[in-house]
Amino acid sequence: MHVSSITLIWLRIWISMAQLQQGGPDEKEKTTALKEGQLRHIKTGEPFIFNYREDLHRWNQKRYEALGEIITKYVYELLEEECHLKKVFVPVDAVESEPRSFIFMSEDAMTNPEKLMVLIHGSGVVRAGQWARRLIINEDLDSGTQIPYIKRAIEEGYGVIVLNPNENYIEVEKTKAQVQLSPDRSDEPAEKRERKDKIQKDTKKRRDFYEKYRNPQKEKETVQLYIRENGSPEEHAVYVWDHFITQSAAENVFFVAHSYGGLAFVELIIQREAEVKNKVTAVALTDSVHNVWHQEAGKTIREWMRENCCNWVSSSEPLDASVESMLPDCPRVSAGTERHELTSWKSYPSIFKFFGEAVEAKSSSGKAAPTRRSQRIRYEEL
């Protein structure tokens, strides 16, 4: 894929780099809008432009997807090099020949006796360490990735586990045996069969030429091989819980789950209710799309969520302002933004405060928690 016009340069020392690229100190005024962690053209300093070729939407889309793959690999590198996390493959007993996925863990994730933070992103193209690809490309790394959460968690003494719920399968090129064979036409006259074959070949030739022009990276026929016990975000969450989180030494486990990640967490507590209640201290949801009715969460789960969860939702209200809900689960407060993808970033300081208060409440011998949980909505009358 041709992506040479946009290069992934996240400007760590943005002023000096921009001056070198733009021509020196005289061009300094052109760099004032830049900051660390932004994606910019290596020569012009301009942001990413999707419609690079206005007449070729599919080409632009493929170019965007190729950039997304580069971003994913880059974020993985940051998780290992800057956050000092280690990659751990799942399933844990996978043989070399079968499909595998992976998660990221801090060195003390299993041994930290006090606190463990578990991060779950939403659905779509994002992978471990990301909240929203759009934010990474159009805004910066801080708002679009989980890196600020990870770094602050480590600074505050948490172990960290980063889930990878969208890495559910691998794609392999179809073998000849897997490609559907054309129907048997042995009973057709040879002349008619040859004429049909020629038409098909000519059509395929024109289509291939057109696709090569429209799509520089020609797609191949592939088949999806799903990862054992990790074939969906819900399965992945349960698998990581069973094989890692339950085995960790932490007295207090905390979840941060964005969008579909919230649904995956609710599915986890439905399947492992007693274990989750015993192990998890607090859960921060950010614009979660879970639904306790559709997911058939029982009364005891809903009661636990009202006491131990809080959902920061997209809203025009100020950060932490109470937001009404028709669902009988957890309190909802404003994330301080109306943009769904920004909710995790905007609520970031409040979530750490929420977790800190939850630990204090737990250690105060049953004293009522001075957190948003004390503002819970009572649904007993519904």
User: For residue 201, what are its two tokens?
Assistant: 């070949």
Measure the CA–CA gap between 371 and 299, rounded to whole angstroms: 22
Is there a contact between 308 and 376 (Cβ–Cβ < 8 Å)? Answer: no
Measure the CA–CA gap between 204 and 2, rounded to whole angstroms: 24
Q: Tell me, what DSSP letter sits at residue 175?
A: P
Q: State the residue for tokens 């790394």.
A: 141
Q: State the residue for tokens 């030429």.
A: 209
Is there a contact between 146 and 118 (Cβ–Cβ < 8 Å)? Answer: no
101's enclosing H/E stretch is: strand 101-105
> Which residue out of 259, 315, 347, 350 is catalytically annotated?
259
Question: Collapsing DSSP states into helix, strand and coil, what is residue 372?
Answer: helix
CA angle (328, 122, 294) in 5-degree steps: 35
201's enclosing H/E stretch is: helix 190-214
Measure the CA–CA gap between 128 and 75, rounded to whole angstroms: 8
Distances in whole angstroms, Cα of residue 247 to Cα of each of 244, 275, 322, 334, 355:
5, 11, 36, 34, 21
* Known catalytic membership, residue 350: no
Q: Which long-range contacts (CB under 8 A, 24 or more apart) does 60-69 make?
A: 62/1, 62/215, 62/216, 62/217, 63/1, 63/2, 63/3, 65/1, 65/125, 66/1, 66/3, 66/217, 67/3, 67/6, 67/8, 67/137, 68/125, 68/133, 68/137
Residues taking part in catalysis = 259
